[in-house]
């Protein structure tokens, strides 16, 4: 029982280092998916087939804005899920900037463009306040 209690306070990285010291082979399991942000806007990204990647974008959700995305060829890259979190990290605080995370997977070799616009959905004629676009090349 004491051992379990001690483990619950150890950081995950420390546990992996500890297991690694005992000869455990993690292989590719420690490689996390690439985390992207708005700094890659307008860029070209390359991923291996079946590789996952994430994109984090600031969102003015408290003002009614949403990110709307399109993928030029959804057989090449697929959106798997989205998550939201407050930018300041405190889920108990109302208002403020939100971060939306888009989790994608490269599903077929080829090339596509991912485009996102931040706008208020009930005002489609009003130009978006932010736009993001990236070209993705998927290889074997």
CATH (domain of 103): 2.60.40.2020
H/E element, 80: strand 77-86
Residues 64 and 82 in one domain: yes
Q: Are residues 96 and 120 in the same domain?
A: yes
21 in the same domain as 37: no
- Residue 138 pairs with which residues in a beta bridge? 47, 110
More confidently predicted of 33 and 109 = 109
CA-CA distance, 140 to 134, in Å (whole number)? Answer: 20
In the chain, the percentage of residues whose pLDDT exceeds 70 is: 76
Residue 44: CB partners within 8 Å, gap ≥ 6?
A: 134, 135, 136, 137
- Give dist(CA 79, CA 30) in Å, integer: 23
For residues 130 and 92, membership in a common domain is answered with: yes
- Structural domain for 81, as ranges: 32-139
Domain co-membership, 88 together with 44: yes
Determine the pLDDT at residue 26: 37
Structural domains of the chain, count: 2
Q: Are residues 14 and 80 in the same domain?
A: no
Q: Are residues 55 and 12 in the same domain?
A: no
Q: State yes or no: pLDDT of 34 exceeds 90.
A: no
- pLDDT computed for residue 83 by the predictor: 95
Is residue 130 domain-shared with residue 88, that is, in the same domain? yes
- Is the dihedral angle over the CA atoms 71, 77, 79, 85 positive or is it negative? negative
119: which strand partners? Answer: 66
117 and 51 in a single domain? The answer is: yes
pLDDT at 90 over 90: no
Same domain for 43 and 25, yes or no, is no
| Domain co-membership, 8 together with 73 | no
pLDDT band at 43 (very low <50, low <70, confident <90, very high): very high
Is 124 found in the same domain as 63?
yes
Distance CA 103, CA 52 (A): 7
């Amino acid at each position: 029982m004491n051992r379990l209690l001690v483990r619950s306070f150890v950081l995950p990285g420390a546990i992996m280092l500890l297991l690694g010291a005992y000869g455990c082979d993690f292989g590719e399991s420690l490689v996390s998916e690439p985390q992207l942000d708005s700094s890659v806007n307008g860029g070209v990204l390359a991923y291996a087939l079946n590789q996952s990647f994430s994109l984090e974008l600031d969102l003015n959700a408290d003002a009614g804005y949403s990110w709307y995305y399109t993928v030029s060829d959804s057989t090449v890259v697929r959106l798997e899920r989205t998550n939201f979190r407050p930018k300041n990290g405190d889920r108990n605080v109302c208002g403020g900037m939100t971060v939306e995370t888009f989790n994608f997977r490269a599903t077929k070799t080829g090339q596509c463009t991912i485009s996102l616009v931040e706008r208020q959905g009930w005002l489609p004629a009003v130009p978006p306040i932010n736009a993001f676009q990236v070209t993705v090349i998927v290889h074997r």
